[in-house]
A and B are shown apart, each in its own frame.
Chain A
Amino acid sequence: MIQLNKVYKTFNNHKALNNLCLDVKSGEIYGLLGANGAGKSTTLNLILGFLKPDTGSIDLIDASNTSIATDMIGYIPENVNLYPYLSGVENLDYFCKLSGFKYSKNELSKFLIECGLQDDAHHKSVAEYSKGMRQKVGIAIAYAKKAKVYLLDEPASGLDPLSSNELSELLKKLADTGSAILMASHDLFRVRETCNKIGILKNGNLIKEMDADQVTPEELEGVYLNFMKN
């Protein structure tokens, strides 16, 4: 579903991405690992359309082999900063309206519940939310948009283990509905637990791709450290 073909991107003579080829299929959760500055955020920004590749192409193609518009993308940043003066439901309502969807209050609540946010929190001001709760609203925003592609930037950073686990479960649920999910992270354990496929980026090069179920967490750590050190 997400296809990057021979993508090059440079910033002031610095190669951020070098001939990157990536393919995330429908129903797949792809974990992109890499150190700071490896090119993970650049990859996400290219798919989001905030950056244009120097060469190469980025395609979002659905199961019937037709291109889908970028408005089918859901994006969940590292910190989902919502409007603190609005409640969870109001935030969701506002972001949905921006993307052209108008839902009833019940429907909005349903989305939030499906994304794991407890009923009693829906009408509380977001200023009172924890990071995990905001993250859930962020996912609900993408979900309500009926996104086919989810891009997540360090989604588990700063989350407690329980919230982190809930996030994994939620993403798996979304993947089961046929969405393609690309998740950039440092967290080897979470990526191993959540993703089907794992790629390791180093200096803009995708140096290793593997299926998550083929490696144990310890093996993944060994592979990762090995690549980073060399």
Chain B
Amino acid sequence: MKHILINEWKGFLRNRVFMILLFIFIFSLFLTTYLGIVQNNKQIQAQKEAQEHISEQWDKMDHGNPHQSAHFGSYAFKPTSVLNSIDEGINSITGNVLRLEGHRQNDVMFSEASQSLLISKFGKMKPSLLFQFIIPLFLIFLSFNSYTQERDTGRLKLLLIQGASLKKIIFSKIISIWLIGLVLLLFATCIQLIFNLHQLNIDTLFRLILLLISYSLYYLILINLTILLSVIFKSSTGALSLTVVIWVMWVVFLPKIIGNTVEKIVPLPTRVEFQDEMDKDRAQGIDGHNPSDNRRQELEQATLIKYGVNSLSELPVNFRGILMQADEEYGNDVWDKHFGTLYSQLQTQKNIYQFSGIINPFASLQSLSMGTAGTDMFHHLYFLSQAEEYRRDLIKKLNNKWRDGNWDKSFFNSIEDFHYNVPSFLMFIGKYLLDIVLLSLWSVILIFLVKYLSKKTVIL
């Protein structure tokens, strides 16, 4: 096996076209990874500056009273993860700015995709584009005639007569081509590590390792499949056509078709329906600005009893602060109910979609790639939840202060800015187990199929 492997690599290294392509890939990987990091850092900087700008405004402003400040609110700017430079996932189409204010929860706005004409359909020239679309195609072309060339030239018989088994020959070829994929993956990872050294931590390293493993498995699947088809089909061009068709199905058709189907299985409400339902529930609550509300009366009574006084004017605290917080909490319940349902619908959609990995390993790869890069829906929802948590905390602090009185500038300045805690990947790993299992299963099954077929194939 060692001799066949070495010979395969000799073949690659002495092939001028291969070397040119390899050089182009290495160069493009260097460029895309490096530029990805530069762009990412720019983005991180822009996000930081926006957050600082808002924070500065908060510190400098004349707050009046805490309720005014609650209306004034704050903003959460979606941060960019370090590995966004490899795979930006959903980041270009999701909004980036979330207004956090009293009485209402807003939508995240200003997606990059809505800020210009369309440029690309397959995404920016990031390493993920090379890893997911271009390198696999290169590996398919390397694989498809790797076996058929031996067979069609009759060299295979010679190899077998010399003592090499078909199994060894085929697996040596698979491994030698797979190693090329691995070299390219490792190269991009090294560039990532070198230029991002200052931002690296154990979590990022762990994510990078899983990203590497996911792509390695996917390449193994693709190479195995291509060689398997070339062993099965008598015509090498027929095998190539079929492999390319399968690849196009995997990367283009199935993700879109299944994504659409899933949205039909678990339909989401339209924005109007969603807002109407929320408004309906909200209207039943205590509206701090609507004194005729029954719940307000109840709260008033409860507060009077609690403080042992007969009228609001006798209260040692500001009743409006209590009222606002009660309304806020009611609003939070409404938000939890509706957004809770929406988020769980989105997660159900994702879970169903993940099962498409049974027929499309690319779906599992994509999910793992975005997941490890921290740019998938789970991370996005986590950001939204954290921002909402911050909003609640901020408004509660302001309402309580309004209730208790005695605020001054130091109180407003003591309020911390929104700080996004990047979730540890271990927190999320359970969500990607299915992807990992399916990718592994695909690899194992294909290896066994190749092994089985190499025993069964009659060489003539």
Contacts and interface: CB of A to CB of B under 8 A. Distances in A.
Tell me, yes or no, whether A and B come into direct contact in the complex with CB atoms closer than 8 A. yes
Interface string B140-184: 000000000000011101111111100000000000000000000
A82 B162 contact: no
Nearest to B4: A98
A100 B161 CA distance: 12
A9 to B, nearest CB: 12
B158 A79 contact: no
A11 to B, nearest CB: 10
Given A50-B458, A78-B154, A85-B15, A97 B161 contact: no
Contact of B157 (A50, A71, A82, A100): A50
A32 B155 CA distance: 23
A50 B153 CA distance: 16
Interface residues on A, range: 20 to 34
A98 B162 CA distance: 6
B7 interface: yes
Contact of A75 (B7, B10, B157, B164): B157
A85 B162 CA distance: 20
B15 A141 contact: no
B453 to A, nearest CB: 16
B333 to A, nearest CB: 72
B157 A48 contact: yes
Interface string A80-103: 111101100010001111111000
Contact of B11 (A51, A77, A83, A96): A83
A50 B458 CA distance: 7
Contact of B162 (A77, A79, A141): A141
B14 to A, nearest CB: 4
B459 interface: yes
B3 A50 contact: no
Given A79-B153, A81-B153, A100 B163 contact: yes
A81 B154 contact: yes
Given A94-B3, A98-B3, A75 B153 contact: no
A138 B458 CA distance: 23
A98 B163 contact: yes
Contacts of A3: none
B257 interface: no
A133 to B, nearest CB: 16
Interface string A33-48: 0000000010001001
Contacts of A73: 161
A71 B162 CA distance: 7
Contacts of B118: none
A160 B459 CA distance: 29
Interface string A193-205: 0000000000000
B212 to A, nearest CB: 30
A100 B163 CA distance: 8
Given A48-B157, A81-B154, A95 B11 contact: no
Contacts of A85: 10-11, 14-15
B157 A77 contact: yes
B162 A51 contact: no
Contact of A98 (B11, B157, B164, B459): B164
A48 B161 contact: yes
A31 interface: no
Nearest to A50: B459
Interface in B1-23: 3-4, 7, 10-11, 14-15
A71 B458 contact: no
Given A50-B460, A51-B458, A77-B154, A83 B7 contact: yes
Contact of A95 (B10, B158, B458, B459): B158
Contacts of B153: 79, 81
A226 B460 CA distance: 30
A141 B158 contact: yes
Nearest to A77: B154
A41 B162 CA distance: 19
Nearest to B155: A81
A97 B11 contact: no
Contact of B158 (A71, A77, A86): A77
Contacts of B10: 85-86, 90
A145 interface: yes
Contacts of A45: 460
A71 B155 contact: no
B305 to A, nearest CB: 93
B154 A97 contact: no
A45 B459 CA distance: 9
Contacts of B161: 48, 73-75
A98 B160 CA distance: 9
23 contacts: A48-B157, A48-B161, A50-B157, A50-B458, A50-B459, A75-B158, A80-B158, A82-B155, A83-B11, A83-B155, A85-B15, A86-B10, A94-B3, A94-B7, A95-B159, A97-B3, A98-B4, A98-B159, A98-B163, A99-B162, A138-B158, A141-B158, A145-B162
Interface of A: 41, 45, 48, 50-51, 71, 73-75, 77-83, 85-86, 90, 94-100, 138, 141, 145
Given A45-B460, A48-B161, A50-B459, 8 more contacts: A50-B458, A74-B161, A77-B154, A78-B154, A82-B155, A83-B7, A99-B162, A141-B162
Which 6 A-B residue pairings sit nearest by Cβ, starting from the closest?
A81-B153, A85-B14, A98-B162, A99-B163, A75-B161, A99-B162
